[in-house]
Every structure is written in structure tokens, then in C-alpha cells.
Copies of this chain bind each other. A is one copy, B any other.
Amino acid sequence: MLESKNPREALSHVRVVLIHTTHPGNIGAAARAMWTMGLSQLVLVSPSRFPAPEAEAMASGADVVLEHAQVVATLPEALAGCVWAAGFSARPREFAGRVLSARETAEEAARLLAAEASPDIALVFGTEMSGLSNAELAQCTVAAAIPANPQYSSLNLAAAVQVAAYELRAALLGAGAVWQAPRFVGAAHEEIERLYAHAEKTLIACGFLNPERPKRLLPRLRRLFARAGLEQEEVNILRGILAEMDVLLKEAQERNGSESE
């Protein structure tokens, strides 16, 4: 994760370029994938059909991206003003330049976006059936490959955009959890030791633990609770249960006592 003045501002300098997209539904799905990761600049190079109702249906709430999408005739027009472009390809065999993984691509993009000048950069995707042509890939700064199953490496267009955009967001903002688990506050050491002392006494009293042959019962309980990490409330609950057992034991003793009287 790179320090950046403003990651949202940085994301506004990223174009997603889709070349000759055949199915308008894929344009909508790509727009949704982009917007989930905070990318909004979509450039379409001579799509088969756009605007289209299928695109809007698949965008599902990411209409803002479609509304601002630019349609251009050629890849050079789409890349005008960009200082760097990554061409996504499953098989960049013929590419003469550097081939990076999706993660490396995102890290390089994030470094560029962190620069003072805030240059424009592009993520470029080819047509559904055959991907980027060699001539299209040659116009990119780097080729980007998403590591995939060698038996079946054909990601859906919007799925590839999702992975690329996800990695870019992760590189800019970190891949860490967005939702933090409620902070764990462990019970104090002496509270936990009182619990174990209480448990030992009660378990001996009820006959479950034989002090002559304790085996490994208490160490095992310690191990279990240490692994879980006990909070004060949980200590209270466990001691409450032990106290209930104590009451029952006392009643049983008194009954036994009165019976033997």
C-alpha cells in the first residue's frame, strides 16, 4: 500500500479501455466491476452496440459509469494523454515488452499514480472472443496476465476487469479488511486464574477431577481457553456456571447430611 495524497483522486486518473466489445451486457458488467472498486472512467473503442438496454441492466446501479462512458473509434484515441497502459492478455506470447502479473501491474500503476504529477494511465481489455491483438498489445506499456488455470484461462471480460480493478484498489488502499472485527479485550490474568482455581475446586467437589490422579484435565482446559482468549464477560459466565454447580453440590451435601442424620 502506497502513501498517496488522496487515493480517490488517484483512481480518477485511471481509464478502463474496452476494445470492440461484442456484447453490450459485458460493458454493463464491466462498469459495475469498475465502480465497486472506485473506478469511473470507461472508454469504449468501437463497441458493437452502445448505449444498449443490456448494458444498463448489467450495470445495476453503476449507471454513473455508463453515462460518462466515452466512445472512440481507435485505440490511440482511447489512450491519448495516457503515460502508461497495461494490456490484459491471457497469452502475451508475442509481446516484446515486460509481462507483469495482475498484482505487479497494480503495484506499478499505484506507484505512477502516487507521483506528484498525477498522470493518466489505462487498463486495456480486448474483445471477448480473442482478447487483445498483437498490434493492440504493442501499443501498451506493459502486458498484464492474470494467473489462471492453465487448462482454462478464459476469464469473462467483466471478471477480468473486476480482478484488475480489485488489485489496483488493493495496491492503492491496501488489501486489508474493511470491516474490523470488534476489538478483543481479554480478561485480566488474575480473573482467569481465579476462574481456574474455582473450576479446580468445583470439579474436585463434584468428583469429576480426582486430585490423586488429576491426569491432564486442568492443563487441557487452560489450553482450550488460552487458544480462545477469554473476555471478562465469558469469565463471568463460566464462573456463574461453576457457582450454580456449587449450589447444587451444597444442596446435595446438605441432603446427604440430613439423610445420614
Task: Spell out A's residues near B (CB within 8 Å).
Answer: 29, 32-33, 35-38, 60-62, 91-93, 95, 97-104, 143, 145-156, 158-159, 162-163, 166, 169-170, 173-181
Contacts and interface: CB of A to CB of B under 8 A. Distances in A.
B177 A147 contact: yes
B99 A177 contact: yes
A36 B93 contact: no
A9 to B, nearest CB: 14
Contacts of A170: 103, 147
A178 B148 contact: yes
Dominant SS among interface residues on chain A: loop
Contacts of A146: 166
Total copies of the chain: 2
Contact of A179 (B99, B152, B158, B169): B99
B36 A153 contact: yes
A215 B61 CA distance: 59
A64 to B, nearest CB: 9
Contacts of A99: 177, 179-181
Nearest to A155: B36
Chain B CB count within 10 A is highest, among A32, A91, A102, A163, for: A163
Contact of A175 (B61, B147, B162): B147
Given A93-B179, A163-B162, A179-B91, A148 B32 contact: no
B147 A155 contact: no
B61 A152 contact: yes
A155 B162 contact: yes
A177 B36 contact: no
Contacts of A93: 179
Given A155-B162, A156-B32, A170-B103, A37 B179 contact: no
A180 to B, nearest CB: 7
A162 B148 CA distance: 11
Nearest to A35: B152
Contact of A33 (B153, B159, B177): B159
Given A62-B152, A152-B62, A36 B180 contact: no
Closest 10 CB pairs of A and B: A103-B175, A101-B177, A38-B149, A159-B162, A99-B179, A99-B181, A147-B178, A145-B179, A36-B148, A36-B155
